[in-house]
């Protein structure tokens, strides 16, 4: 029997100083314990897998599909099952709190973290986030919905000031949080880094008023890591826990001084400490305070779920002349060219969503397994896509690096920044890492020394970045001088910063002494947790590889094949937390787009499989026969893709975001990522509520390649007989019939949109109000019943501070996508209805 802890008694047993100490983390992942009184708990990233404590490498973990892939399934059950599995994974890492799900809106196609969030539509994002949270918390693990709110860009995310109307906040950016918080009651909320209307989110009185008063949420509010920007203000607003630790803003003397100055009250400290204690109690840490060691448990049931969810999240966008599926019978005796990123499993994006997966299945390996000996598979790389060159010494074919001890790797010498005395030596160290240096190099100069022996003669390509000022010497000659700190420290941290390449002549078999010196950065605004640390990376690529005609080789291979499948996408260096997208086009420097065009010119049966978490430019769309958007499907990504390509799974995914034809057609174009005013980045959400398809409904289909909700199947589904009835004053019921007219067993999506019959420029034409995935055997029919809230017909009136549903006639439409409406019925609201916020 579970014993309930007397929280008030625990609170009374604590000194004021002890209560204050509870309000910030102990270290990067754990809360503060008070021996004999309060246990501590461990947290873990993240949204598509429980990584554990190590940010790079570390304990292996299951990698699930990204949130944008889960959104493409439009499947509440899959989201719930993924939540349950994520909770089990969290337990294997000794943690009781999962820092997920990410629930912000896809405002712009260049949003660096879009893949980690669900959708451009708030209803879809909110409903799926709700199910993930319910799944996680059903296992006794806390879910942390994030980032509250407005984290729709990575550029200057620590400080950017966003001007957003209350209407846009309520209808678009807060709406998914409202749905998930009211339905699932997450035990924790994480605030965002950015400012909204001049106030940082961690101390934003409006956001906390909405959260705790309007929505009645009771739980723990924690900051994003390094995202606590004040002492008294954040505590007064409602931020319970500063993360990570040790504290920067809640040092006991500082908080005591704020209390003495009248800026804070002891009752506020009691309220915040009580919430922390209740959170720890809810996680049963008072009963069992142990934090078990991390384990890598590769569960077969999780493998199966990841493969299923990844496949159901694949969206078939084009299939001319039924070029797909490539079944075993269809492929028998054929030659199939797999080109591009076929041997690179694009399982996840970068940043908090990255982890050391148990394994990753590439499309090449999966297609070999799926087709066996029935077809001949051939491969060509086709293009250079890397953002940064591979770390020197990593590619053994390029040559070897040994340190001063004669062992592989570099010797790292750490010198005191003031005395210049040698303080520490670390051997066998890669010249491409930050973390080991962070642990030991506070306020030290780092000097990497290694002897490089190249395998080939040539003027080879190199690239270097230092977190701070960095110099590269080869045989005591200065060959690279970075005179300023890295322009993007977060990009450096995640290995996602574009480097300036340079060349240096080498002779095969000759040994060259390489020395890289880097100073510690003194101040990184917004990333104070890195202050005083240092880190560098040095990459190298042989000239013969860099200058090879990869595109020509791929085109020649495709010309000789019956089918060509080009795998495109973004690896975690290109699509990552900390960086917005470098371009609407695929990286790098047009190489992937040129590859697709070249292969399509050589082979009319060209199929593109794209793995990005964002909409991209499709300049070659008219040239290819097939297009499958696969996203980041997790560790089983290759198998998920192969299942759809070969027909083992009938594609049923639908786009959770619109694919515009040009970046200029995006609703936030011109207002992303903002403009600098007196040295500070500001961005105005001028598009208001016209985000995603709400915008494209106004500008027309001519601006869109593929609309929200679009997706093809290998079967022919028929959906119709739409009926709408009023079930109560606050709810409507929608009935619809669905049949699988012909083809294999498969799934289709019922989409219900609503909007005022008489359109006006102030309001969207329509909004998604209900959806349901249904799967049917061939020739089978099913009647479905869905519901939507009366409030969903209306809008948020800033002047009244209420939701308003005006009297009048409304169109309730059944959609094949947001732009393909199958049937519409009209309903009448007799008199205006209002709802409290």
Catalytic residue numbers, as ranges: 224
Whole-number Å distance between alpha carbons of 335 and 375: 6
Query: How many angstroms from the chain centroid is the CA of residue 388?
Result: 21
Whole-number Å distance between alpha carbons of 346 and 273: 42
CA distances to 200, 204, 250, 828 from 233, rounded to whole Å, are 10, 9, 11, 47
Q: Beta-carbon neighbour count of residue 187 at 10 Å?
A: 22
Q: Say if residues 380 and 557 touch (Cβ distance below 8 Å).
A: yes
Q: Beta-carbon neighbour count of residue 523 at 10 Å?
A: 10
CA distances to 101, 437, 499, 537 from 530, rounded to whole Å, are 25, 11, 20, 16
DSSP SS3 for 240: coil
**Cβ contacts of residue 227 below 8 Å, gap of 6+?**
158, 191, 192, 193, 200, 201, 202
367: tokens are 């297609």
Whole-number Å distance between alpha carbons of 606 and 421: 61
Among 624, 623, 703, which Cα is nearest to 658's? 703
Query: Is the alpha carbon torsion for 814, 819, 820, 825 positive or negative?
Result: positive
Q: Which residue blocks in 317-434 are alpha helix, DSSP H?
A: 328-331, 363-371
Whole-number Å distance between alpha carbons of 339 and 555: 9
Q: Tell me how far apart the terminal alpha carbons of the chain are, to the nearest angstrom.
A: 40
Whole-number Å distance between alpha carbons of 642 and 619: 25
DSSP-assigned letter for residue 685? -
Where do the DSSP E strands lie in 692-730?
A: 704-706, 716-728
Whole-number Å distance between alpha carbons of 681 and 162: 9
Whole-number Å distance between alpha carbons of 158 and 489: 12
Q: H/E/C letters for each residue in 344-384?
A: CCCCCCEHHHCCCECCCCCHHHHHHHHHHHHCEEEEECCCC
Q: Say if residues 405 and 427 touch (Cβ distance below 8 Å).
A: yes
Among 292, 352, 311, which Cα is nearest to 49's? 352
Among 193, 100, 106, 190, which Cα is nearest to 155's? 193
Q: Say if residues 344 and 37 touch (Cβ distance below 8 Å).
A: no
104: tokens are 């912000």
Whole-number Å distance between alpha carbons of 810 and 831: 13
DSSP-assigned letter for residue 436? H
Q: Say if residues 577 and 351 touch (Cβ distance below 8 Å).
A: yes
Interaxial angle between packed helices 122-137 and 76-92, expressed in degrees from 0 to 180 and rounded to the nearest 10 = 40
Q: Beta-carbon neighbour count of residue 643 at 10 Å?
A: 23
| b (16+ CB within 10 A) / e for 303-337 | bebbbbbbbbbbbbbbbeeebbbbbbebbeebbbb
Q: Return the residue matching tokens 């319970």.
A: 240
**Beta pairing class for 746-756 and 767-776:** antiparallel
DSSP states along 68-101: HHHHHHT-HHHHHHHHHHHHHHHHHTT-SEE---
DSSP SS3 for 321: helix
């Amino acid at each position: 029997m579970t014993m309930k802890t007397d929280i008030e008694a625990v609170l009374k047993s604590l000194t004021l100083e002890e209560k204050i100490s509870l309000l910030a983390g102990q270290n990067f992942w754990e809360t503060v314990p008070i021996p004999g009184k309060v246990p501590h708990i461990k947290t873990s990233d993240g949204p598509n897998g429980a990584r554990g404590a190590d940010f790079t490498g570390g304990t292996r973990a299951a990698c699930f599909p990204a949130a944008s892939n889960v959104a493409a399934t439009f499947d509440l059950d899959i989201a719930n099952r993924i939540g349950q599995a994520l909770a089990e994974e969290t337990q294997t890492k000794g943690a009781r709190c999962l820092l997920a799900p990410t629930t912000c809106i896809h405002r712009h196609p260049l949003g660096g973290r879009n893949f980690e969030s669900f959708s451009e539509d708030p209803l879809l994002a909110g409903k799926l986030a709700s199910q993930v949270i319910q799944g996680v918390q059903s296992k006794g693990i806390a879910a942390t919905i994030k980032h509250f709110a407005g984290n729709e860009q990575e550029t200057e995310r620590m400080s950017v000031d966003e001007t957003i109307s209350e209407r846009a906040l309520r209808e678009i950016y807060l709406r998914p949080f409202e749905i998930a918080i009211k339905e699932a009651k997450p035990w924790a909320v994480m605030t965002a880094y950015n400012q909204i209307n001049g106030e940082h989110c961690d101390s934003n009185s409006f956001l906390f008023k909405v959260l705790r008063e309007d929505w009645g949420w009771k739980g723990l509010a924690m900051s994003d890591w390094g995202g606590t920007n004040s002492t008294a203000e954040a505590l007064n607003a409602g931020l319970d826990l500063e993360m990570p630790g040790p504290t920067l803003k809640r040092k006991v003397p500082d908080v005591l001084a704020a209390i003495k100055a009248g800026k804070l009250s002891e009752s506020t400290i009691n309220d915040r400490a009580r919430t922390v204690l209740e959170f720890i109690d809810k996680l049963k840490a008072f009963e069992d305070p142990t934090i078990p060691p991390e384990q890598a448990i590769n569960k077969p049931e999780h493998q199966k779920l990841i493969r299923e969810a990844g496949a159901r999240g694949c969206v078939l966008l084009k299939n001319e002349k039924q070029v797909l599926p490539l079944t075993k019978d269809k492929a028998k005796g054929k030659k199939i060219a797999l080109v591009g990123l076929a041997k690179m499993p694009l399982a996840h994006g970068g940043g908090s969503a990255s982890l050391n997966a148990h394994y990753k299945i590439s499309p090449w390996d999966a297609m070999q397994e799926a087709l066996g000996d029935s077809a001949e598979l051939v491969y060509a790389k086709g293009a250079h896509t890397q953002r940064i060159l591979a770390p020197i010494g990593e590619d053994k074919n390029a040559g070897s690096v040994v340190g001063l001890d004669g062992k592989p790797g570099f010797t790292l010498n750490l010198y005191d920044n003031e005395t210049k005395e040698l303080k520490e030596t670390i051997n066998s160290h890669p010249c491409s890492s930050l973390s080991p240096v962070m642990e030991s190099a506070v306020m030290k100069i780092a000097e990497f020394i290694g002897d490089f022996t190249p395998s080939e003669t040539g003027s080879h390509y190199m690239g270097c970045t230092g977190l701070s000022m960095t110099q590269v010497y080869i045989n005591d000659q200065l060959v690279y001088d970075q005179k300023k700190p890295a322009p993007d420290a977060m990009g450096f941290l995640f290995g996602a910063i574009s480097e300036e390449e340079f060349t240096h002549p080498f002779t095969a078999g000759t040994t060259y002494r390489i020395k890289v010196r880097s100073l510690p950065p003194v101040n990184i605004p917004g990333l104070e947790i890195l202050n005083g640390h240092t880190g560098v990376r040095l990459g190298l690529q042989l000239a013969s590889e860099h200058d090879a005609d990869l595109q020509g080789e791929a085109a020649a291979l495709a010309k000789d094949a019956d089918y060509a499948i080009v795998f495109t996408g973004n690896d975690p260096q290109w699509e990552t937390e900390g960086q917005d997208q470098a371009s609407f086009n695929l990286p790098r420097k047009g190489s992937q787009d040129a590859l697709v065009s070249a292969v399509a010119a050589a082979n009319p049966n060209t199929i593109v499989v794209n793995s990005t978490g964002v909409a991209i430019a499709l300049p070659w769309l008219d040239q290819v026969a097939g297009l499958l958007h696969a996203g980041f499907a997790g560790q089983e990504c290759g198998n998920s893709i192969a299942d759809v390509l070969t027909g083992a799974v009938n594609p049923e995914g639908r786009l959770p975001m619109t694919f515009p034809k040009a970046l200029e057609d995006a609703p936030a174009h011109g207002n992303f990522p903002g403009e600098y005013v007196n040295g500070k980045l500001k961005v105005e959400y001028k598009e208001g509520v016209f985000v995603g398809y709400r915008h494209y409904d106004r500008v027309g289909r001519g601006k869109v390649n593929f609309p929200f909700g679009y997706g093809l199947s290998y079967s022919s589904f028929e959906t119709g007989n739409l009926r709408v009835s009023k079930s109560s004053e606050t709810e409507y019921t929608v009935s619809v019939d669905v049949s699988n007219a012909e083809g294999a067993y498969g799934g289709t999506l019922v989409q219900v949109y609503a909007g005022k019959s008489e359109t006006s420029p102030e309001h969207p034409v329509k909004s998604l109000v209900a959806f349901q995935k249904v799967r049917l055997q061939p020739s089978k029919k099913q009647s479905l019943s869905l519901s939507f809230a009366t409030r969903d017909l209306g809008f948020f009136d800033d002047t009244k501070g209420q939701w308003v549903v005006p009297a009048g006639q409304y169109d309730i439409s059944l959609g094949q996508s947001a732009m393909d409406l199958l049937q519409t019925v009209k309903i009448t609201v007799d008199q205006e209805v209002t709802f409290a916020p």
